[in-house]
Amino acid sequence: MREEKGEALMDAGSSAPDRHDPRGVAEVSRRLWQDLLLVPAVDDDAHFFALGGHSMLATRLMSRMRKALDADLPAGLVFEHPVFADFVARTVAALSADRAPAPAGPRPSGRVTGPVSPQQERLLRIEDALGPSPVHNIVVPLEVDPPVDAAVLRLALHALLTRHGALRLAFPPADEGRGHRQAIVPPWTPDDVDLVEHPPAGTDARAEDAAVLKAVRRTHLRPFDLMRGNLLRAQVFRRRHAPDLLVLHLHHLAVDGVSQTVLLDDLAEAYTHLAASGRAPRADGDALTHIDYALRRGAGHDSTAAESGPHWTRVVRDLAADLAAAPEPAPRGVRYARRGAELDASVLRALRGWAGTEGATDFVAVTAAVAAALAGSSGRRRIGIGTLLDNRAHAAHERTVGPFANSTLLAVPVPDGATPRTVVRAARAQLAEARRWADSPLDDLLGPPSAALGLHPDDLVDAVVALDRPYRSPAGSALRLSPLYDHGGPLVRPALGPRLAVTLLAHDTGALRITVEQAEDAGHPGGDPGRPGRPDAVLRAVTDTLRLFAAAPDAALPQPAAPAAVPR
């Protein structure tokens, strides 16, 4: 959920540096690296990914570089040249070779109604099919220190609703009843904010936790009214045996993972200002909205799908050919089993040490390990890994709240004789190609080539992989928020979701928490923990492979067993 934060390099009134002066380019680059990586200094031999950089920060860096230098720099520059001095030299060379200014960034339209984005359209199709339901409701539980002042919190939440129109979206029918439009309703009064304060409950810690969970689940299961225009609810729990708990309930039509970080930052900022002065910080009247993004996305979609066709046809064919030799997977159930484990900091430190020299992010390295683990247990030579791309290509969208993220699919090869290093290189190349088409929904890209082979895009996904980092409140905040990451049973048994999900949480200490969640086989609830493909076995394979990747990057991976069905 967390994404590192940094302030824009230039004030609105300052002039851009000479983009052809190497010293000016180095100064701009150094300051942006410091801001984004939250480090006090950047030496010439500093490595972007060794300093904690990752793919979303790399995208953000290149977006800010384009803005600061007014130049159309290659998106993959930092991936290919992650050492600072090399990055600066290549940036200077790119600027000298191409003296054209960067394309103009998106501008606010000022509109409060407009078409839905492709991401919203897909979600609304599911909403229309299911009727009012909590299937896209999001729960964000946060421990609060010090105890929260409910009156100030109500005003801070009101400031959040005022600043971000996405939280006030309604989705009325489009003209002639075809589909939906989105509309930002006017701000409400603070008294209209949906905030409920719960007094302490239960006599001991266990009873207190049970009472809180019951109240959170009850609110989570209440569908949002998509015609009313409020996609935020909040609860505050006073607890005798633990810090106060703030629970935000959001809707996926309004937010994605990066949006959650933006909202937490802005909530903490508003609370701090209100507690100190009684006034909320001034909102940016010229900020972009998700409606502006949807208006821009309305053009050029067909050409993007056509240009990307050869890549996605190869992905589908590669995965389909490998699937043809695998046994038919068991029918998918709707019950999910979850297992978790934790690796100490030495594993991620060692993995980051060599993978970073390949220009690979932490995400690429752990994704390659998951693919190798599934290949080893299935006998397959190519694994389909689904993941989310944040899809914020412009610096102007960094603080815009909305469902920008799109799914993508990586066909990661794990051939005979592969080593961790070769699998990481292959995963990195797959991700770089997929990022070229991050702005289009995956179903649109995979649909035609999948249908030609009699497949559904979901058939190609062996596992969905995500790498999260803990959220940190801004320095000096009067509201210190610590998200609680759920490694126990799910809040609600999901009706929709991937067959197999592997989520990794990289703690600030370097420890790596791995959670495997898998749909249970229909007719075999619970299953046999020792059976290949069950969540216990998948978790064991992933943790063992991560240790192997960390310790021996150039050793051949163990030969896989006879082909078996990856849980699908």
Q: What share of the chain in percent tops pLDDT 90? A: 46
Domain 113-287 carries which CATH code?
A: 3.30.559.10
Could you tell me which residues come within 8 angstroms of residue 310 by beta carbon, excluding any fewer than 6 positions away? none
pLDDT of residue 176: 67
How does pLDDT run across 481-538, given as a tens digit for each residue?
A: 999 876 556 665 555 567 899 999 988 788 999 999 887 654 444 444 433 458 899 9
How does pLDDT run across 303-320, given as a tens digit for each residue?
A: 566 778 888 899 999 998
Q: Identify the burial level of 335 via C-beta atoms within 10 angstroms of its C-beta, where 0-12 means exposed, 13-18 middle and 19 or more buried.
A: middle
Domain extents in the chain: 22-97, 113-287, 299-323+337-389+404-457+510-517+527-551
pLDDT of residue 530: 38
pLDDT of residue 528: 42
How does pLDDT run across 383-428, given as a tens digit for each residue?
A: 999 999 888 877 678 889 999 999 999 999 999 999 999 999 999 9
Q: How far apart are CA 413 and CA 384, in angstroms?
A: 9
Q: What is the pTM for the complete model shown? A: 0.83
How does pLDDT run across 168-215, given as a tens digit for each residue?
A: 999 998 876 678 999 999 988 999 999 999 999 878 999 999 999 999
Mean of the per-residue pLDDT values of the chain: 84
Q: How far apart are CA 182 and CA 292, in angstroms?
A: 11
Mean of the pLDDT values across residues 280-285?
73
pLDDT beyond 90 at 338: no
Lowest average pLDDT, out of 65-69, 163-167, 463-467, goes to 65-69
Lowest average pLDDT, out of 79-93, 94-108, 520-534, goes to 520-534
Do domains 22-97 and 113-287 share one topology? The answer is no
Superfamily of domain 22-97, CATH level 4: ACP-like (1.10.1200.10)
C-alpha dihedral, 530 to 531 to 532 to 534, nearest 10°: -90
Domain 299-323+337-389+404-457+510-517+527-551 carries which CATH code?
A: 3.30.559.30
pLDDT beyond 90 at 283: no
Could you tell me which residues come within 8 angstroms of residue 233 by beta carbon, excluding any fewer than 6 positions away? 194, 195, 196, 219, 248, 249
pLDDT beyond 50 at 260: yes
| Backbone dihedral angles phi then psi of residue 406, each to the nearest 5 degrees | -125, 145
Dihedral sign (CA 184, 187, 192, 197): positive
Closest alpha carbon to 147 in 242, 282, 263: 242
The tokens of 149 are what?
């002042």
Q: Give the count of beta carbons closer than 10 Å to the beta carbon of residue 411.
A: 26
Q: Are 187 and 176 in contact (CB under 8 A)?
A: no
How does pLDDT run across 213-254, given as a tens digit for each residue?
A: 999 999 999 999 999 888 999 999 999 989 999 999 999 999
Closest alpha carbon to 78 in 435, 469, 407: 435
pLDDT of residue 440: 81
Q: pLDDT band at residue 323, thresholds of 50, 70 and 90?
A: confident
